[in-house]
Structure 1
Amino acid sequence: MDLSRIPSPCYVIDEEVLTQNLITLRKVQEDTGCKILLALKGFAMWSTFPLISKYLVGITASSVAEAMLGRDEFGGEVHAYAPAYSERDIDELTPIVHHLVFNSLNQFHHYRDRVRASGRNISMGIRVNPEYSEVETDIYNPCAPCSRLGALADQIKSQDLHGLEGLHFHTMCEQNADVLERTLPHFEEKFGDLIPQMKWINLGGGHHITREDYDIDCLCRTVKNFREKWGKEIYLEPGEAIALNTGVLVASVLDIVQNKLPIAILDVSATAHMPDVLEMPYRPVITGAHEPAVKSCTYRLGGLTCLAGDVIGDYSFGEPLQPGDKLVFEDMAHYTMVKNTTFNGVRLPSIGIWKPRENRFHLVREFGYEDYRDRLS
Structure 2
Amino acid sequence: MQKSDLKTPYFMIDEAKLIHNLEIAKRLKELSGVKLVLALKCFSTWGVFDIIKPYLDGTTSSGPFEVKLGYETFGGETHAYSVGYSEEDVKEVADICDKMIFNSQSQLKAYRHIIEGKASIGLRLNPGVSYAGQDLANPARQFSRLGVQADHIDPAVLETVNGVMFHMNCENKDVDAFTSLLDAISERFGSYLDNMEWVSLGGGVFFTWPGYDVEKLAAALKAFSERHGVQLYLEPGEAIITKTTDLVVTVVDLVENGMKTAIVDSATEAHRLDTLIYNEPASIMEASEQGEHEYVIGSCSCLAGDQFCVARFAEPLQIGQRLHIMDSAGYTMVKLNWFNGLRMPTVYCERSNGEIQKLNEFGFEDFKRSLSQWSVY
CA contact (8 A) 2:283 2:309 kept: no
Q: Are 2:358 and 1:352 aligned?
A: no
Which residue of 2 is the match for residue 220 of structure 1? 218
Task: State the distance in 1 between where 2:185 and 2:311 align.
Answer: 43
Q: Which amino acid aligns with 1:29?
A: K
Q: Displacement of 1:236 after TM fit?
A: 0.5
Task: State the distance in 1 between where 2:260 and 2:241 align.
Answer: 34
Which residue of 2 is the match for residue 12 of structure 1? 12
1:275-306, CA deviations, whole angstroms, 9 ceiling, x for partnerless residues? Answer: 11111111111012135xx4222211111211
Task: State the distance in 2 between where 1:61 and 1:39 align.
Answer: 6
Alignment of 1:19-98 (within 5 A): 19-98=19-98
Q: Are 2:318 and 1:338 aligned?
A: no
1:60-95, CA deviations, whole angstroms, 9 ceiling, x for partnerless residues? Answer: 010111111101110111001111100111011102
Q: Are 2:137 and 1:140 aligned?
A: yes
How many residues of Structure 1 are paired with residues of Structure 2 in the alignment?
371
CA contact (8 A) 2:272 2:336 kept: yes
CA contact (8 A) 1:59 1:70 kept: yes
Which residue of 2 is the match for residue 319 of structure 1? 315
Task: State the distance in 1 between where 2:362 and 2:166 align.
Answer: 37
Task: State the distance in 2 between where 1:210 and 1:298 align.
Answer: 32
Which runs of 5 or more structure 2 residues have no equivalent in the other structure?
Answer: 373-377
Which residue of 1 is the match for residue 250 of structure 2? 252
Alignment of 1:60-209 (within 5 A): 60-116=60-116, 119-120=117-118, 122-176=119-173, 177-209=175-207
CA contact (8 A) 2:133 2:170 kept: no
Q: Are 2:325 and 1:329 aligned?
A: yes
1:129-153, CA deviations, whole angstroms, 9 ceiling, x for partnerless residues? Answer: 1111132310111111111101011
- Cα RMSD of the aligned pairs, angstroms, is 1.5
SS at match of 1:250: strand
Q: Are 2:224 and 1:229 aligned?
A: no
Task: State the distance in 1 between where 2:330 and 2:152 align.
Answer: 34
Q: Displacement of 1:3 after TM fit?
A: 4.1
Q: Displacement of 1:9 after TM fit?
A: 0.6
Which runs of 5 or more structure 1 residues have no equivalent in the other structure?
Answer: none
Task: State the distance in 2 between where 1:173 and 1:180 align.
Answer: 11
Q: Displacement of 1:190 after TM fit?
A: 2.0
Which ranges of 4 or more aligned residues in structure 1 deviate by more than 6 Å?
none
Q: Displacement of 1:108 after TM fit?
A: 0.5
SS at match of 2:183: helix
SS at match of 2:357: strand
Q: Displacement of 1:12 after TM fit?
A: 0.5
Which residue of 1 is the match for residue 375 of structure 2? none
Task: State the distance in 2 between where 1:114 and 1:374 align.
Answer: 34
Q: Displacement of 1:369 after TM fit?
A: 1.1
TM-score in terms of structure 1 length = 0.95
